[in-house]
Structure 1
Amino acid sequence: MMSPPGVSTQSRPPRNALWLMLLALLPFALAVWQYQRGEQRSAQLAAFERAANLPPRHLAEIALDAEPNGQRVWLTVRDSQPSLRVAGAVLDGRDGVREWQPVQLLDGSWVVIDRGWLPRPVGIVSLPLPAGRLSGRWVVRPAPYLLSKARVGVEGEVDALDWPRLASSLPGTLRGGLVVLEPTLRPYTTWPVKPAFDPQRHYAYALQWLLLALCIVLAAWLMRRKQDGNRTRQD
């Protein structure tokens, strides 16, 4: 079949090579996305470390609508509710629970404190709160992955704390976040508060996607050269 006058078949890029070039856009976009995620995570870690170096603040003097950022705080307990234990807490490969307890501050507001981690088997009796001023890190509430039959409640042993139900049952405002006590007393072990994510993982994923995109581009270029060579020999 003859080509239309004035149109050279050699000027038409091979269709397969074009499809490969378009396909390379997907891993390239994923590489950019993973790199941006790495930058976000790096900024979050840097902010978390800066907060750790700030002088501790009295939590009762912080605004009720303030968002926790990992800063060090101290508090004096005015009143408290019974503690509960959150299951599914694995520390250093050992299964255990985290003991949480709502406490009232001097300003009348409430906050949940993480008294620490206990390995299984766990005793039935909870120890009384330490006397005096408590100190710890004020962090965001964890978002656990829950199955359909997960136990969500405000007492006993649960898989997750029912935050709205707890807030409605308290005679005061429940502050956001969770205060992880540092230090805690035996037999408790302080739960690590440093974010578990690693920005380097995102950078590694970005590099992998970028290499894949470059490989696809190289394959498209080689295919284009091969098809151009075949067409030249046919002509």
Structure 2
Amino acid sequence: MTVTPPVSTPQSRRPRSAAWLLLLALLPLALAVWQYQRGQQRSAQLAAFERAANLPPRHLAEIARDAAPNGQRVWLTVRDSAPSLRLAGAVLNGRDGVREWQAVQLVDGSWVVVDRGWLPRPVGIMSLPLPTGRLSGRWVARPAPYLLSKARIGIEGEVDALDWPALAATLPGPLRTGLVVLEPTLRPYTTWPVQPGFDPQRHYAYALQWLLLAVGVVIGALVMIRRQHGVQHSGD
């Protein structure tokens, strides 16, 4: 006697498809939770950055050399300086320009790079001397450049990114991490706006998108299940 295996019909496959859809919804749901947590972390970092801006300025030479910059206000007295360089691709208020950076030596012998400000194009060849006396600014993390394959990386002239290891090797003292963005700066320079390179709202927006996708997948699975029950009841 030959036993005929049951034939799989589209109606019998729908419950399996719906179950797979429900499992598939876990992926965008997990991504939504992850992006929401990232948004909370970035919000906490942004709040700490803003709190640091309201603290009294500190003498940078009195801060530990291995300390990480946190956006706090600092002041410094220049003991010596290296030649300045200019970073291309600095767009401010829709205008193309450059940021002028210069390594300076503090009274404790350590060095730090200061952002003297932004200059619009066309930029002159000559660089103005550093202001004398006490300088003040925000001590921030080194910006992460977005570079193409033919980017100019160096320590002099006009470049697309500063070669931090090469600069540290040329200085007669330790180079501190981070960058001091001078506030205020002197004309013709414009102070480069100090802000973190992230936006917590972007993570929250991504979380909402993933959540909506997960909800859409769940709704699709429930519709398939409901239709299957409807087919079964009509067959009965």
- Which structure 1 residue ranges, 5 or more long, are not aligned? 4-9
Aligned residue in 2 for 1:81: 82
What is the rounded CA distance, in whole Å, between the counterparts of 1:200 and 1:150 in structure 2?
31
CA-to-aligned-CA distance 1:164-190 (integer Å, 9 cap, x gap): 000011000000000000000000000
Q: How many angstroms does 1:86 deviate by?
A: 0.5
1:61 alignment partner AA:
E
1:48-197 equivalence runs, <5 A = 48-197=49-198
Letter of the 2:104 counterpart = V
Q: Deviations over 1:1-38 (max 9, x none)?
A: 788xxxxxx9x981110111112112111111110111
What runs of 5+ residues in structure 2 fail to find an aligned partner?
none
Distance 1:208 1:106 in 2: 52
C-alpha displacement of 1:208: 1.8
CA deviation digits over 1:32-90, x for unaligned, max 9?
11101111110111010010011100000000100000000000000001100011111
Runs (4 or more) in structure 1 with deviation over 6 Å come to: none
Per the normalisation by structure 2, the TM-score is 0.93
* SS of alignment partner, residue 20 of structure 1: helix
Q: Which residue of 2 aligns with 1:221?
A: 222
Deviation, 1:234, is 2.4
Letter in 1 for 2:77: T
Aligned pairs, number: 229
Distance across 1 between alignment mates of 2:203 and 2:232:
43
Q: For residues 14 and 217 of structure 2, what CA distance do their matches in structure 1 show?
A: 16
Percent of pairs with identical residues: 81
Deviation, 1:126, is: 0.3
Aligned residue type for 1:33 = W
In the alignment, structure 1 residue 203 sits paired with structure 2 residue 216: no
1:14 aligned counterpart, secondary structure: helix
The separation in 2 between residues aligned to 1:126 and 1:150, in whole angstroms, is 23
TM-score normalised over the length of structure 1: 0.93
